[in-house]
Structure 1
């Protein structure tokens, strides 16, 4: 496909600033990427790769499909209005007997639903009833009904392109055909997408039947630390925008900026803020910023010769295009290009990726296999594609590749050093995935959490430690995951922590955050009951109003605990000044050391892990000294000049979010509205 590993020295145009080295050889300095694009990355280009007036357009060939992606797919001047090649299939027509059975069941469901007295909620669910029978009897008319209702209620200005037969119309038709629209599913649909119903209660769990064995009591003795530290890289949310148009409007009124088709309505015929070559706060990652970031990582982390022990990538490769401008090819293009760049620019050591909500078409949509028939495999093209790409890059063994193909691109890898890495497709608990509104009272319709539980049980039986890697976080402020599956996930983490689960990793928010998991569903939150922690990685993309960043962990080679963590950032507000010259590109600077930033106010040994107990103690210091919340808030936005301050209720909310590992805990306990610095 492409020439392999670039010689890094040929790409370097500036040196690392001097600085004291940590125990793992981390350099707390800066690195400035070269100004000119490294043209040796690719053999062929559709445009002049040395030009600075536009982003490069390399010729990309897919090693899995053997397809060469055309320029029209990524050309900023030819953004499509609709994907006419591969819309989602419609469900099969129902038999008359099935229509009758569903009619009876739905009437019964409405009659027994205690919330039906709420008039707006009742109207919404009654409307869904009409849609259900259309979806069951004449599914080809489902998208037309969705568009007609969208236009009638003025729900969107892009009803046809957003909800027509070439967009989300078939997805919504599938969901309504299979959901209990008169009951819990319908209430949740009306609440999440239309705000017409109250939030339904979290369903009770039967954990006795869920777990094959009770939690060991006493727990197995903890593994003895080796004292040897491994370097592990955490990257997230690259969001490469191959349609980024240098010089276009970077301060557009709506949508994704730095695109030829988006303007500032205050000045539609004149560009107010030309898009810099390396990116802007309202834009996704241009090619030049992605390569600069990856170029910076090895010299900053001292891994030019050794590579990382491994890398976790917590999802989202693709830009934030509206669905009507996406296609399967656009998704596969980003997957092919970015995984290849990881392989060539980050050195040796496997990358363990998880799919993000933007790594799907339509974005955020993944159907449970339980939907049945040919609809169950409608996203298999993507699972097969990424699984074979990961195999092509020599990151996954054959067994993990087959698991990924069969489990929504989720897999388990048992490394030779004794660590198991389990990844999840978190679209299957993401609120924006319409398919999650089928059979909502059951917390694991997809089977993803059954897969996770079984893998954790195998790890416990073998005495192995586990890292869990996903994209959409399970907790924090509770705005992203569904309540029931994130509640079950919390109980799974409790059951297998701290003796099996060493760490959990998410992305999605683009911000630097974390969540603590406690015993007994957080009924007593203390240092003694803290079980596990999820690290939410900073994004490479600046979207929205953030700096670009990445993190490296120091990991004990025996326990697989994180002993220290280091975060770097590049200040996006400096990028406009780089346009007038070719010598220098973006500078990535050392932002902070986690142990030093948060552990100075209580006793914590220099080799003690940064585990859930450590982080609970940090929250106790935050309660006594709100200035530490200010520090956390600054790092949350990666030091962006646009990060707003956090005081008063905001500070209280942030501490509560850190202590919330599930959506129900966040919604029950925490003030709403302070989750993001964007």
Structure 2
């Protein structure tokens, strides 16, 4: 049986490609040992051998500023962010310091009474929302005192650990943002339910999708004769990279198997061995670590040979690259800052420019801001609606500086939360948007949550799609946090709205959708009629989730190449490449050690060769939503195909669990057919990720 043979070839982690026909470039690339010093013009620390992560000097062309060495020095990781502004809602009245303190003391007494008193007829959710209502006056009249009060209450009632209470509610981390939410949210309505659910899952159940009125949503009805344009027959190569998560504070020789937090750091240890590391970090990364410079540059060096592209006069160029977000490492918020975020943006985009051909179209991830996850809607009062504009201005300036987007698109990015609409020189329109506006980790989404488009990002997207339809353009939509799968990442109402947008403009306008965030390799599907009938006749669009460069957590490193037709802009093949992280510890670089090679990146699989036979798919047809739905039907007939998908989801990591029982297999198929929270939440839960203890 073909699928059994495929699985057998994957079991040994061999380098043999499944169906190795028509490779885009070489089948494997081995990076040279040592750091490619030509990647940067100068260094604070530049070793001859990879015994310590280099520290390049990063100049920011937008800020006209050179980032100092102590920002990324692994020996000087900050314990608290003291440099960034902390914004509170303006008080509704001017009270004296003693009046503010008296007010807060009274608030604490009221909240304590509500928490302590037992009412048999009152649910824990109602009690929590009543406590929020009692706390709201503090945010309105004495906002600067709220974070310390939240930390105190969190510790007193053991809502989290003491350290987590500080991390979640201190003013310099998320406390000021929580104060804003408390001031402006409807704490006894849907907003309050979300707030209580976020603070503790034992307080309120997660709210479900609300009905959406679509009668006035779109300026025009969907054309009855809407069809996908024919292919041109000309194919171009498009790169999809995601979730690089550069760790500029990575420390070679530090603990790579720490007990908690981000490993390969000087300030994280394994509790069983607080002295000498149990697993010393090598130069290229590990399963519990983010991407050191050596791994990120090895991946970028591998792109040209593996994809058959390069910068030489006689070499083919990438038509374009899509980057679906997350540049910054997974530090706790107390160690992050605006400067550290902008450093990662400047460094990574600079590396893209150095190594990749063609333009790069990037979307912002939830880690590409500070505090992480947070992007406030522009309709918040005064400066609060513009509190992340420093970041939108910065990335727009970098993208413009690198020549990837036009001045008009840069203006859009400054206005639309880092989102923009740009037409490539091949004629495809790419719409990038900031998915923090539907991410559960963004607590600003708990303000006016009854409005599925409180930020306005989707009305802007509709206007761009309508203009594209009127002009006969094809569109790719790119973002970071995926809209569906198991339903655990975004909020339900905005993804329901997005699903209606896809149903309106696919497949004749929207050709493809690209996400990141999970660090894994998978797809999800969108259907007509709100997914009430999910079969090949109703399949409209595919979302491709890009594999991450970072190995965090328990994954291999990877990226993907698409073969795209310039007529219909559909994908006709996809090649996924990976590097086996379990081999990196053969290169443990400690003082006086030497190494002959760096990491190997190799082709993992061709999508068409791996799944095409199972879907009975013609070689001339694109890998569209109909194709992928037929793959899921083949999975229902042959459980081995689900196991194969699970193996590929983790990029063949030796730490990925098997998916061999019927519950897992049923869930995986359901996830693939779920493009919204409403649909994904109907699936059996617990099988969405192949990682253990992963917190994106």
Instruction: Give the superposition deviation at 1:94.
Output: 1.6
| CA offset digits 1:398-449 (Å, max 9, x no partner) | 1100000000000000223321100010000000001000011110100111
Match of 2:205? Answer: 198
Q: Does 1:326 align with 2:332?
A: no
Instruction: Give the superposition deviation at 1:576.
Output: 1.1
Match of 2:110? Answer: none
Which of 622, 639, 646 matches 1:609? 622
CA contact (8 A) 1:39 1:50 kept: no
| CA offset digits 1:178-218 (Å, max 9, x no partner) | 11111101111212331111222322111111111111112
Which of 648, 652, 655 matches 2:666? 652
Instruction: Give the superposition deviation at 1:18.
Output: 12
Match of 2:520? Answer: 511
* Secondary structure of residue in 1 paired with 2:610: helix
CA contact (8 A) 1:49 1:57 kept: no
CA contact (8 A) 2:514 2:544 kept: yes
Match of 2:607? Answer: 594
Q: Does 1:211 align with 2:218?
A: yes
Instruction: Give the superposition deviation at 1:372.
Output: 2.2
* Secondary structure of residue in 1 paired with 2:575: strand
Match of 2:494? Answer: 485
CA distance in 2, matches of 1:587, 1:574: 9
Instruction: Note closer, same or farther for the CA distance 1:138–1:187 as it changes in structure 2 (3 Å cut).
Output: same
* Secondary structure of residue in 1 paired with 2:173: coil
Instruction: Give the superposition deviation at 1:556.
Output: 0.4
* Secondary structure of residue in 2 paired with 1:422: strand
Which of 578, 584, 588 matches 2:597? 584
CA distance in 1, matches of 2:125, 2:81: 34
User: How do 1:373-388 and structure 2 match up within 5 A?
Assistant: 373-388=382-397
Instruction: Give the superposition deviation at 1:88.
Output: 3.0
Instruction: Note closer, same or farther for the CA distance 1:621–1:37 as it changes in structure 2 (3 Å cut).
Output: same
Match of 2:67? Answer: 69
More divergent stretch after superposition (81-90 vs 317-326) = 81-90
CA distance in 1, matches of 2:646, 2:433: 28
Q: Does 1:268 align with 2:268?
A: no
User: How do 1:43-62 and structure 2 match up within 5 A?
Assistant: 43-62=41-60
Match of 2:381? Answer: 372
CA contact (8 A) 1:82 1:161 kept: no
Instruction: Note closer, same or farther for the CA distance 1:665–1:118 as it changes in structure 2 (3 Å cut).
Output: farther
CA distance in 1, matches of 2:390, 2:380: 17
Instruction: Note closer, same or farther for the CA distance 1:22–1:555 as it changes in structure 2 (3 Å cut).
Output: farther
Match of 1:277? Answer: 283
CA contact (8 A) 1:49 1:56 kept: yes
Match of 1:124? Answer: 128
Q: Does 1:559 align with 2:568?
A: yes
Instruction: Give the superposition deviation at 1:32.
Output: 0.2
* Secondary structure of residue in 2 paired with 1:168: helix
| CA offset digits 1:471-509 (Å, max 9, x no partner) | 000000000000000110001000101100000000000
Instruction: Note closer, same or farther for the CA distance 1:418–1:118 as it changes in structure 2 (3 Å cut).
Output: farther
Match of 2:143? Answer: 139
* Secondary structure of residue in 2 paired with 1:628: helix
| CA offset digits 1:151-171 (Å, max 9, x no partner) | 112213223344212111100
Which of 444, 451, 473 matches 1:464? 473
CA contact (8 A) 1:551 1:565 kept: yes
Match of 1:254? Answer: 260
Instruction: Note closer, same or farther for the CA distance 1:489–1:315 as it changes in structure 2 (3 Å cut).
Output: same
CA distance in 1, matches of 2:527, 2:293: 41
Instruction: Give the superposition deviation at 1:44.
Output: 1.8
Which of 345, 356, 361 matches 2:355? 345
CA contact (8 A) 1:240 1:318 kept: yes
CA distance in 1, matches of 2:32, 2:462: 46
More divergent stretch after superposition (580-589 vs 399-408) = 580-589
| CA offset digits 1:219-250 (Å, max 9, x no partner) | 2x321211111100000000000011101100
Match of 1:42? Answer: 40
CA contact (8 A) 1:516 1:612 kept: yes
Match of 1:233? Answer: 239
TM-score scaled to structure 1, two decimals? 0.93
Q: Does 1:634 align with 2:647?
A: yes
Q: Does 1:172 align with 2:178?
A: yes
Match of 1:409? Answer: 418
Match of 1:99? Answer: none
CA distance in 1, matches of 2:444, 2:648: 35
* Secondary structure of residue in 1 paired with 2:294: helix
Instruction: Give the superposition deviation at 1:315.
Output: 0.1
* Secondary structure of residue in 2 paired with 1:371: coil
CA contact (8 A) 1:19 1:28 kept: no
* Secondary structure of residue in 1 paired with 2:500: helix
| CA offset digits 1:324-383 (Å, max 9, x no partner) | 100110000000000010011112x10000000000000000000011211111100000
CA contact (8 A) 1:20 1:27 kept: no
Instruction: Give the superposition deviation at 1:288.
Output: 0.4
Instruction: Note closer, same or farther for the CA distance 1:17–1:633 as it changes in structure 2 (3 Å cut).
Output: closer
| CA offset digits 1:601-650 (Å, max 9, x no partner) | 23322120100000000000000100000000000000000000012201
CA distance in 2, matches of 1:659, 1:18: 27
Which of 392, 398, 402 matches 1:393? 402
CA contact (8 A) 2:321 2:359 kept: yes
Instruction: Give the superposition deviation at 1:95.
Output: 4.5
CA contact (8 A) 2:26 2:305 kept: no
- Structure 2 residues not aligned, in runs of 5+: 1-14, 95-106, 108-113, 115-119, 692-696
- Structure 1 residues not aligned, in runs of 5+: 1-15, 97-102, 104-109, 111-115
TM-score scaled to structure 2, two decimals? 0.90
CA distance in 1, matches of 2:291, 2:234: 36
More divergent stretch after superposition (442-451 vs 571-580) = 571-580
CA distance in 2, matches of 1:90, 1:611: 47
